[in-house]
Amino acid sequence: MPRVSDIPSRLCLGPGPSPVPPRVLAALAHPTVGHLDPAFLALMDEIRDGLRRVFATTNPMTLAMSGTGSAGMETVIVNLVEPGDRVLVGVNGVFGGRLAEVARRAGAAVTTVDAPWGRALDRDQLADAIARHAPHVVAVVHAETSTGVGNPVDGLAELIHAHDGLFILDCVTSLAGMAVEIDAWGVDAAYSGTQKCLSCPPGLSPVTLSPRAVARLDRRRLKVPSWYLDLTLLRSYWGQERAYHHTAPINMLYALHEALAIVLEEGLAARFARHRAAHERLAAAVADLGLPFVSQDGHRLPMLNAIAAPAGADEAALRRRLLDEHGIEIGGGLGDFKGKAWRIGLMGHGATSAAVDAVTGALRVLLC
Amino acid sequence: MPRVSDIPSRLCLGPGPSPVPPRVLAALAHPTVGHLDPAFLALMDEIRDGLRRVFATTNPMTLAMSGTGSAGMETVIVNLVEPGDRVLVGVNGVFGGRLAEVARRAGAAVTTVDAPWGRALDRDQLADAIARHAPHVVAVVHAETSTGVGNPVDGLAELIHAHDGLFILDCVTSLAGMAVEIDAWGVDAAYSGTQKCLSCPPGLSPVTLSPRAVARLDRRRLKVPSWYLDLTLLRSYWGQERAYHHTAPINMLYALHEALAIVLEEGLAARFARHRAAHERLAAAVADLGLPFVSQDGHRLPMLNAIAAPAGADEAALRRRLLDEHGIEIGGGLGDFKGKAWRIGLMGHGATSAAVDAVTGALRVLLC
């Protein structure tokens, strides 16, 4: 068998994974200890504290699920939705669509508020739909990775809570790259992934639930359908009881601990400003290259830049040359944007002027 | 925050995680690339081939789920069971009980065949129950980690298949430490964990499905309730289409690739013999210490040795001293064995005479 060490280094500027700092890789490789080892349990407490800080929450129920961001999505849905519940989902890309699909599989009566690919959800349409349906749960993707669009969240919680609903926010791509204010925004459940702006390898999903969401969980009529993702069981392991549920992914949690330490050393405000600055530098450079954004002006994400692929070119072949000749990964389009858009991620450790210059310089060589 | 590098080294001789070889830790820390990177996709093909070899199967649908062993358990259940299906589960420990619970949550009508903790399931009782219930699915734990007992599997497939049922085998603790013959035994679905005899960190679950199980999957009336664990979607990523499902846990898959390479370099027969020899050395030493096995003679697992905790002693305090003073982790008892048994794991890289001598030497110091 070939060796892992033969896998070439890449500059990861796609939709994730993002570049992982050497400190995080070193933590990942620290010798494995047991999931009930006192030294490891202390680390879990610190991870929980660090996650609360990046989520800007005091939620006691804050933890890292043992799966990727999609497992986090499924966790909040299967724990907070029961068969027959009315669930309203904003859909303007792959991940809104996925939320709706996961909710349907949980037995929900799903209504969607849609916007075209590349445009933000309309806040008034969301408000109308909330008033009309009085949903048990409203789920919105904060940063739509498939389109590079940020969706409005301000003021939604009041409308949702007025009908005793819960507000779920997908923070997979936004967390640690732009403002995420779980408590201030009245979000009841949020989840993220480690491989975006946290600059940790993929494999864990930070999740936080408000006390209001925990009360809903405690009032369930039926058991959570997924045993693996059941927060009523997991909280006993992450809580003081330390009851064994499943064997935690020890080394991935080492990596998350180090990634959180780096985020907090930099400071969230400085980190958000760095993401913003990298985005602006990229925006100027791709304008020079004649590659317009396909995401709506005023709603563009700093960490995920969706631009038009060069007209008339074989975009997949160009991305392959960018990878093979320059060692740089960018993402292709999904869904409506397949074959038409490129997605340049400037996430976490990759949100630097050096990364922007590397990718735009390489594109200039390939295109001009 | 304290650093991960401050976590002390431990000799992991509990029920898992097992000791991880330096080569596997080095692979884990290799720089992250994208989940659609051609170099990574080639690695996935090799992982699939390696898993087929350790499972002793030619099953096309063989892959690693992005979660721990319990996620693998849930995967085979939610993909192969539909609401109302009759599921027969052998229960003689925590993991048989967990299988029954996961099947109930999937809507199955569950019947159990039980044996007392520390005893193997009775093959005749299983056969009678299969004849009586004609179950759609029969699930048995090959190596019960909670009791150190191996269950009979020979000849079950014929009985199960005679009623058009599927045979699920939990190989979490057995795989790569004792004979596991998926094809020869007629097993239709099996799952494992990486942190036992594969000596890889926890976080992935190898899964394999026979063509018969895949046919059942293809005939489902309802969608798989879990989107994250839906094999009808995942096979498009692990197959030639490479359709994006979720972001694979890249670095964990690096580690699994290296762990499989080590297993295949040693050879399965040699590896099983090494586990057996370590077990026999331990058995002699604990007999000297006056700590009898609590698992049934003739059914003891080589890699998981369940022995009586010292009578009259505070067993948890002794295990804590073993950890603090000697840097060795062993497991306590679960369920019926809580406070009464110790579980000494000799798994993968930990199945050596040096490890046996270390733990028995330390126990001698603490007890004598």
Query: Using CB atoms, which residue from B1, B12, B248 is nearest to A34?
Result: B12
Q: Is A345 on the interface with B (CB under 8 A)?
A: no
Cβ contact B143:B178 at 8 Å? yes
Q: Is B45 exposed, middle or buried (CB count within 10 Å of its CB: 0-12, 13-18, 19+)?
A: exposed
Residue written as tokens 């499924």? A74
pLDDT at A170 over 80: yes
The DSSP-derived string for B108-162 is -EEEEEE--TTSPPPHHHHHHHHHHH--SEEEEESEETTTTEEPP-TTHHHHHHH
Helix (H) or strand (E) run with residue B304 in it: strand B304-308
For chain A, the farthest-separated pair of C-alpha atoms sits apart, in whole angstroms, at 62
Label residue A326 left, alpha or beta by phi (over 0 means left) and psi (-120 to 50 means alpha): alpha
Nearest CA distance, A48 vs chain B (angstrom): 12
Chain A hits for B29, CB-CB cut-off 8 Å, are 25-26, 28-29
Q: Report the CATH architecture of A22-264.
A: 3-Layer(aba) Sandwich (3.40)
Provide, rounded to the nearest whole percent, the portion of chain A with pLDDT above 90.
97
Q: How far is CA A64 from the centre of its chain?
A: 13
pLDDT at B1 over 70: no
Average confidence (pLDDT) over A136-147: 98
Q: How far is CA A291 from the centre of its chain?
A: 26
Among residues A359, A283, A357, A284, the alpha carbon closest in space to that of A321 is found at: A359
Query: Using CB atoms, which residue from B7, B67, B244 is nearest to A67?
Result: B67
Structure-block tokens of residue B165: 């049922």
Q: Tell me the C-alpha distance between B347 and B177, whole Å.
A: 7
Task: Give the amino acid at A251.
Answer: N
User: For chain A, what is the mean pLDDT?
Assistant: 97
CB contact under 8 A, A4 and B258: yes
Predicted local confidence at residue B368, as pLDDT: 86
Q: How far is CA B15 from the centre of its chain?
A: 10
Q: Tell me the C-alpha distance between A274 and A296, whole Å.
A: 21
Q: Is A357 on the interface with B (CB under 8 A)?
A: no
Buried b / exposed e over B67-89, threshold 16 CB at 10 Å, is: bbbbbbbbbbbbbbbbeebbbbb
- Segments making up each domain of chain B, as ranges: 4-17+268-367, 22-264
Q: Is B88 helix (H, G, I), strand (E, B) or coil?
A: strand
Structure-block tokens of residue A185: 């925004």
Nearest chain B residue to A146 by CA distance is B244
pLDDT at B50 over 70: yes
Average confidence (pLDDT) over A4-17: 97
**Cis omega before residue A17 (within 30°)?**
yes
Query: Using CB atoms, which residue from A29, A66, A223 is nearest to B67?
Result: A66
Among residues A319, A352, A302, A297, the alpha carbon closest in space to that of A120 is found at: A297
User: For chain B, what is the mean pLDDT?
Assistant: 97
Q: Tell me the C-alpha distance between A331 and A346, whole Å.
A: 11
pLDDT at A207 over 80: yes
pLDDT tens by residue, B203-227: 999 999 999 999 999 999 999 999 9
pLDDT tens by residue, B51-60: 999 999 999 9
Predicted local confidence at residue A368, as pLDDT: 86
Cβ contact A249:B203 at 8 Å? yes
Chain A hits for B101, CB-CB cut-off 8 Å, are 227
- Half-sphere exposure of B190 toward its Cβ, with a 13 Å CA cutoff? 28
Predicted local confidence at residue A45, as pLDDT: 96
Structure-block tokens of residue A215: 């009360």
CATH ID of B4-17+268-367, from 3.40.50.12280, 3.90.1310.10, 3.90.1150.10, 2.40.50.140: 3.90.1150.10
Query: Which superfamily, per CATH, for A8-17+268-367?
Result: Aspartate Aminotransferase, domain 1 (3.90.1150.10)
pLDDT at B201 over 90: yes
Beta-carbon contacts below 8 Å between A and B? 249
Among residues B215, B218, B158, B181, the alpha carbon closest in space to that of B58 is found at: B181
Chain B hits for A4, CB-CB cut-off 8 Å, are 27, 30, 43, 254, 257-258
Q: Bridge partners of B87?
A: B110, B137
Q: Is B236 helix (H, G, I), strand (E, B) or coil?
A: helix
Q: List Cα–Cα distances, B90 to A80, A266, B205, in angstroms.
A: 32, 53, 21
Average confidence (pLDDT) over A42-47: 96
Return all residues near B128 (Cβ < 8 A) that are at least 6 apart.
Answer: none
pLDDT tens by residue, B103-135: 999 999 999 999 999 999 999 999 999 999 999
Query: What's the whole-model pTM score?
Result: 0.98
Query: Using CB atoms, which residue from A34, A66, A334 is nearest to B203?
Result: A66
Predicted local confidence at residue A239, as pLDDT: 87
CB contact under 8 A, A33 and B254: no
Q: Is B1 helix (H, G, I), strand (E, B) or coil?
A: coil
**What does R_g of chain A's alpha carbons equal in angstroms?**
20
Cβ contact A251:A32 at 8 Å? yes
Q: Tell me the C-alpha distance between A20 and A296, whole Å.
A: 29
Among residues A124, A99, A93, the alpha carbon closest in space to that of A111 is found at: A99
pLDDT tens by residue, B268-284: 999 999 999 999 999 99
Predicted local confidence at residue A5, as pLDDT: 95
φ, ψ of residue A355 to 5 degrees: the values are: -65, -45
Task: Give the amino acid at A1.
Answer: M
Residue ranges of B 67-96 with Cβ closer than 8 A to chain A? 67-71, 73-74, 78
pLDDT tens by residue, B317-353: 999 999 999 999 999 999 999 999 999 999 999 999 9
Q: Is B37 on the interface with A (CB under 8 A)?
A: yes
Q: List Cα–Cα distances, B246 to A2, A23, B172, B228, B237, in angstroms.
A: 25, 25, 24, 8, 9
| pLDDT band for position A1 (cuts 50, 70, 90) | low
Task: Give the amino acid at B36.
Answer: L
